[in-house]
C-alpha cells in the first residue's frame, strides 16, 4: 500500500523541483522511402512521418494529464537523411529539409532530428551534399536538428570531415546572425554517436533500429539537488547512494511513461535515456547539484570529480529501474541551458578548458557554448577534434555544439529563447591549429578498438 509520505514526495518533486519527462521521441525509419527521384522520396517521407506520428502529440498530452507528470517535448528522430538521399539521381537535400519541416508542423512536434550524416570513416554518396547543405537547411527551418558523426572508437577520426564541420558550424552562424546565430544551436558534431538517443539536437534513428520505436528521455536535476540539500553534511558515499536512489525513482517514472506511450501508440518501446537534462529555469540545473555537493562555483577545481560521481551514480540508480537503457544516459552540461552554468561562465569561474575536462567523465561533450564571432573555422575544427579524441579513446559519446556569436566578443551575450536558453560568449585559445587541421586524413582507430 502506498504511504502518504511517498505520495507527497512525488507531488513535491513534480510541483517544486521541476521533475518532468523531457521528451518522448518517436524514431521512424525512412529506409523504405528511398527512390531515384527526390520528389518521390519527399512525398513518401512526408506521408510516412505524418502517418506514424499522427497521434504522438495527442497521446503524449493524454499521458501527461492522466499521470500528472509534465512531458515537455514530443519529438521525432529519423534515419540519417544522407542515407535516404544516397539513391537519388539529383541530390537535393534542401528539398528533404523543407519536407521534414512541413511534416513537423503537420504533426505538431517540437523538433525532428536526423538531418544527419555518418562519416566517421569517410564520405559515401549523399554525405557531402548533405553536409554542405546544413547551414542553409538550419537557417530556413525552425524544427529541424542536424548532426554529423565524424569519429568513433572503432574507426578513428575522419579529419577531413572535422575540417569541413568547422566551416559548416561557422557558416550556420553567419546565415543566422540576425537571429542570435541560432543555426549552430541545432547542430551537433559527434564522436561515437548513439543511434537511439531521444535528446536533441543529436537525435537520429540508426539503421539497426526497428521501423518505428518510442524512446523516452527523463530529466530531474532539481530533484537530485533538493535531495542533497535535505541530506546536509554527509560523506560522499552517502551522497552517491542518495543520487542513486533519486535516479531510480526518476527513471521508474520514465519507464512507466515509455511503456504507456508505446502501448497506446502501438509502437515498440525502445529505450529510456537516463539523463539529467537541465533547463534554464532556476532549480533545474546540473551545476547547482555540483555546487550543492560542496563547490563554491561550478568550474572550480573538484568539479570534474564531483561530476564523475554524479554521472556514475545516475547510471547505477537508473539502470535497474528500466528494462532497456540507452541513448546518452548521464549528466548533461550544456552551458546556455543551465542557470548555474550560465552564472559560472559569466563570472569567469567556468572556462572552456574545464568544460573539456568535464566531458571526459559525463555523458556528452562541449554543449551550447557561445564562442567569439571572429573564431576561425580551423579553431572550431580543432575544438571538435579534441572532443572526438576524448570520446574515441574513452569509448564514449562526445559531441560539440558551439555557437560562434557573429559580430560579438567575449562578455557579450546570445539569447536563443526557450529550452536553448542564453549565455555569455566564452573565450577560446586564439593560437592557430590551422596546419594540423589542414593536414586532413584520418586519425587511426586506437588500440581500444581491437577488442575482438
Partner 1 sequence: MRAVITVIGKDMVGILAKVSTICAGHQVNVLEVTQSILQDMFAMIMMVDIEKSDVPFEQFADELTALGNSMGLSIHTMHEDIFNSMHQI
Stretch that binds partner 1, among 9-17, 169-177, 292-300, 357-365 (CB under 8 A): 9-17
Work out which of 255, 262, 303, 370 binds partner 1, going by CB under 8 A.
255
Work out which of 34, 67, 231, 394 binds partner 1, going by CB under 8 A.
67
Q: Are 408 and 353 in contact (CB under 8 A)?
A: no
Instruction: Mention every residue, 6+ apart, whose C-beta is less than 8 A from residue 373.
Output: 173, 181, 404, 405, 406, 407, 408, 409, 425
Pairing type for strands 212-218 and 413-415 reads unpaired
Work out which of 31, 36, 40, 68 binds partner 1, going by CB under 8 A.
68
Choose between 254 and 280: whose C-beta lies nearer to partner 1: 254
Q: How many residues bind partner 1 (CB under 8 A)?
A: 20
4 binds partner 1 (CB under 8 A): yes
Burial tier of 15 (Cβ tally within 10 Å: 0-12, 13-18, 19+): exposed
User: 11-50 mask for partner 1 (x: CB under 8 A)?
Assistant: x---x-----------------------------------
Query: What are residue 145's DSSP bridge partners?
Result: 113
Choose between 4 and 89: whose C-beta lies nearer to partner 1: 4
Q: What is the dihedral of CA 130, 134, 136, 141, to 10 degrees?
A: 110
Residue positions counted in the chain: 452
Q: How far is CA 120 from CA 157, 388, 442, in A?
A: 6, 10, 9
Query: What are residue 158's DSSP bridge partners?
Result: 442
The position carrying cell 584520418 is 442
Looking only at residues 313 through 372 of this chain, which bind partner 1 when binding is defined by CB under 8 A? none
Choose between 164 and 260: whose C-beta lies nearer to partner 1: 260
Q: How far is the CB of 229 from partner 1 (least distance, A)?
A: 17
Q: How far is the CB of 65 from partner 1 (least distance, A)?
A: 5
Pairing type for strands 21-28 and 212-218 reads antiparallel
Q: How far is the CB of 63 from partner 1 (least distance, A)?
A: 9
DSSP secondary structure letter of residue 183: G
219 binds partner 1 (CB under 8 A): no
d(CA 214, CA 400): 26
Work out which of 107, 253, 287, 397 binds partner 1, going by CB under 8 A.
253
Work out which of 69, 145, 168, 214 binds partner 1, going by CB under 8 A.
69
Instruction: Mention every residue, 6+ apart, whose C-beta is less than 8 A from residue 263.
Output: none
Looking only at residues 412 through 451 of this chain, which bind partner 1 when binding is defined by CB under 8 A? none
d(CA 313, CA 186): 29
- In 367-444, alpha helices (H): 377-393, 434-439
Choose between 4 and 450: whose C-beta lies nearer to partner 1: 4
Stretch that binds partner 1, among 65-73, 111-119, 265-273, 392-400 (CB under 8 A): 65-73
Q: How far is the CB of 243 from partner 1 (least distance, A)?
A: 16
Q: How far is the CB of 8 from partner 1 (least distance, A)?
A: 6
Work out which of 7, 124, 236, 357 binds partner 1, going by CB under 8 A.
7
CA atoms within 13 A on the CB side of 297: 14
Q: How far is the CB of 6 from partner 1 (least distance, A)?
A: 4
d(CA 139, CA 154): 33
10 binds partner 1 (CB under 8 A): yes
Choose between 62 and 140: whose C-beta lies nearer to partner 1: 62
Measured between alpha carbons, how far apart are the two ends of the chain, in Å? 50
8 binds partner 1 (CB under 8 A): yes
Q: Are 265 and 61 in contact (CB under 8 A)?
A: no
Q: How far is the CB of 230 from partner 1 (least distance, A)?
A: 14
Cell of 366: 562541449
Stretch that binds partner 1, among 111-119, 252-260, 280-288, 329-337 (CB under 8 A): 252-260
Q: Interface residues with partner 1 (CB under 8 A)? A: 2, 4, 6-11, 15, 62, 65-69, 249, 252-253, 255-256
Amino acid at each position: 500500500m502506498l504511504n502518504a509520505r511517498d505520495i507527497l514526495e512525488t507531488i513535491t518533486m513534480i510541483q517544486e523541483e521541476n521533475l518532468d519527462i523531457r521528451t518522448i521521441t518517436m524514431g521512424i525509419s525512412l529506409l523504405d522511402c528511398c527512390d531515384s527521384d527526390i520528389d518521390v522520396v519527399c512525398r513518401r517521407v512526408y506521408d510516412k512521418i505524418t502517418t506514424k506520428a499522427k497521434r504522438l502529440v495527442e497521446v503524449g498530452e493524454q499521458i501527461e494529464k492522466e499521470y500528472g507528470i509534465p512531458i515537455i517535448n514530443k519529438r521525432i528522430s529519423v534515419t540519417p537523411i544522407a542515407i535516404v538521399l544516397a539513391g537519388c539521381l539529383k541530390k537535393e537535400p534542401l528539398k528533404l529539409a523543407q519536407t521534414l519541416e512541413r511534416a513537423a508542423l503537420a504533426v505538431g512536434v517540437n523538433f525532428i532530428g536526423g538531418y544527419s550524416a555518418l562519416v566517421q570513416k569517410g564520405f559515401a554518396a549523399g554525405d557531402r551534399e548533405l553536409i554542405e547543405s546544413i547551414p542553409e537547411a538550419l537557417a530556413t527551418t525552425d524544427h529541424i536538428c542536424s548532426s554529423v558523426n565524424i569519429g568513433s572508437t572503432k574507426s578513428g577520426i575522419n579529419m577531413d570531415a572535422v575540417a569541413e564541420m568547422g566551416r559548416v558550424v561557422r557558416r550556420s552562424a553567419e546565415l543566422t546572425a540576425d537571429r542570435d546565430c541560432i543555426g549552430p544551436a541545432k547542430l551537433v558534431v559527434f564522436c561515437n554517436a548513439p543511434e537511439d538517443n531521444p535528446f536533441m539536437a543529436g537525435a537520429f534513428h540508426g539503421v539497426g533500429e526497428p521501423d518505428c520505436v518510442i524512446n523516452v528521455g527523463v530529466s530531474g536535476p532539481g530533484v537530485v539537488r533538493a535531495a542533497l540539500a535535505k541530506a546536509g553534511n554527509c560523506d560522499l558515499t552517502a551522497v552517491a547512494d542518495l543520487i542513486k536512489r533519486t535516479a531510480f525513482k526518476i527513471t521508474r517514472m520514465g519507464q512507466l511513461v515509455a511503456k504507456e506511450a508505446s502501448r497506446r501508440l502501438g509502437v515498440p518501446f525502445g529505450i529510456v535515456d537516463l539523463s539529467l537534462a537541465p533547463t534554464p529555469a532556476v532549480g533545474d540545473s546540473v551545476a547547482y547539484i555540483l555546487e550543492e555537493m560542496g563547490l563554491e562555483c561550478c568550474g572550480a577545481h573538484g568539479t570534474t570529480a564531483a561530476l564523475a560521481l554524479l554521472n556514475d551514480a545516475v547510471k547505477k540508480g537508473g539502470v535497474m529501474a528500466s528494462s532497456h537503457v540507452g541513448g546518452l544516459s548521464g549528466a548533461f552540461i550544456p552551458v546556455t541551458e543551465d542557470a548555474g552554468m550560465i552564472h559560472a561562465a559569466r563570472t569567469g569561474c567556468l572556462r572552456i578548458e574545464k568544460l573539456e575536462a568535464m566531458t571526459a567523465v559525463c555523458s556528452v561533450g562541449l554543449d551550447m557554448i557561445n564562442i567569439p564571432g571572429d573564431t576561425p573555422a580551423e579553431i572550431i575544427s580543432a575544438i571538435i577534434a579534441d572532443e572526438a579524441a576524448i570520446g574515441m579513446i574513452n569509448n564514449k559519446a562526445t559531441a560539440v555544439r558551439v555557437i560562434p556569436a557573429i559580430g560579438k566578443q567575449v562578455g557579450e551575450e546570445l539569447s536563443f529563447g526557450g529550452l536553448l536558453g542564453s549565455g555569455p560568449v566564452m573565450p577560446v585559445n586564439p593560437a592557430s591549429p590551422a596546419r594540423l587541421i589542414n593536414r586532413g586524413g584520418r586519425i587511426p582507430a586506437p588500440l581500444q578498438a581491437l577488442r575482438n
